[in-house]
Structure 1
Amino acid sequence: MAVVTGSDSGIGRAAAVALARSGYDVGITWHDDEPGAQTTAEEARAAGARAAVRHLDLSDVRSGAAVVVALNDALGGLEVLVNVAGTGASTPFLDQELDEWRHVLDVDLTGAFTCAQAAARLMVEAGVAGRIINVTSVHEHVPLRGSAAYCAAKGGLGLLTKVMALELAEHGITVNAVAPGEIATPMTGNEDVEPTRIERPGIPLGRPGDAREVAALVAHLASPDSGYTTGASFVVDGGMLLMAAEANRRL
């Protein structure tokens, strides 16, 4: 069974459906879009999987562990956790309010930590050589002006991924990060838009990504084929990070 947080839309939904098609039952969580989560569950069931849906608000950082345990109890046998749920804020550093800073870090970093710790404890207790996959961002690796809290949270989650990989390896549990660039999802304002029709001259591939392209990597990292892969961060950005040197040359 796989738990995918934030699976009511976007990358989370695509990941849950991809895992269902790979043979996993799926635990689905939502924050403010219960109908979206039910749609994800319907797609998972159409792929032959069982699905359970729970509400998750990671601004209450202790709730993450309880929801992971509840989904484990509902479906049994947790093998995979995918941390997708997240939020962001576009506020200049000098204007950043402490409450906003704390909210972003609670959801994107501390919430992911509590979910991962609960999942890992269940896996260790059951003797399962499981998989934990943290969806970060290209801004795990490079800064973004006006996004101090978001970059700090995603950078922190990237390094947490490596610590978890070191400590959980003795239990046969692998931990990896997936770092998307611009993906056509509700978070980027491109919900239900065909990515190939959106022009992005600053990205070498010339377009944003499709959530299913990220989900395919998640499904691979959850599969037996990735059993020797741990502590890595896989960038899925159409080559965007490769443009830093090119931008400098043009300037």
Structure 2
Amino acid sequence: MSGPVRTFRHYRNVPERVWRWPDFSPAEIACRGTGQFKLHPEAMDRLQALRDRLDKPLIVRSAYRSPDHNRAVGGPKASKHMDGTAFDISMANHDPVAFEAAAREVGFLGFGFYPRSNFMHVDLGPERSWGERFPDRAVPFAREAPPAREVLAQSRTLRGTGAAGVATVGVGGVEVAQGVLAEAQSAVLPLVPYLDTLRWVFIALALAGICVAVWARIDDWRRGLR
């Protein structure tokens, strides 16, 4: 499905009808120094195939270079960039080993490795390679082993706060009962003094529960469980 190689004075002059690479734009592939653009359909087909295979964006740092711009940046006299068949791709979001393997699978033959600048050069060939290969990278987001935690039903903190909550509700219930009984008939009035004692029992339980919860939390932190 390749077509003829065409050169445009500026990337804005590329007709929309000839652009069939959805993950790229003429501005990304054009000369960074002059805006000129050489459309090489076979090279673009392989670049799009590489994008599809990796299923990640390709950050194009350099693609086509006009002869003047190639001299200005110190490129080789026979640089494939001037043919529109070479691309310098950032490795910021790629594993270099996986990237190289995928690039070879879609048909790129020339590879240049630039780990210090964090990009890889790929072109249509001839088959060759140069530069120092990228060092092995650690997995960027290593899965950490979750810290040991208490089973929820066995949590000392939960038990302490639960006891404190129940006791607090009990205090409120006793006060409500006192109000009701105070308005009741005289036959039940003798029970009111006992409710004061029950209220203080609940208050003591609440304080004990809070103390247990605080102690459990401190002990968990000390043992590294939190």
Name which one, 1 or 2, has greater alpha-carbon Rg.
2
Q: Which has the higher contact order (CA 8 A, sep 6+)?
A: 1
Q: TM-score range by the shorter chain?
A: under 0.3
TM-score w.r.t. the length of structure 1 is 0.23
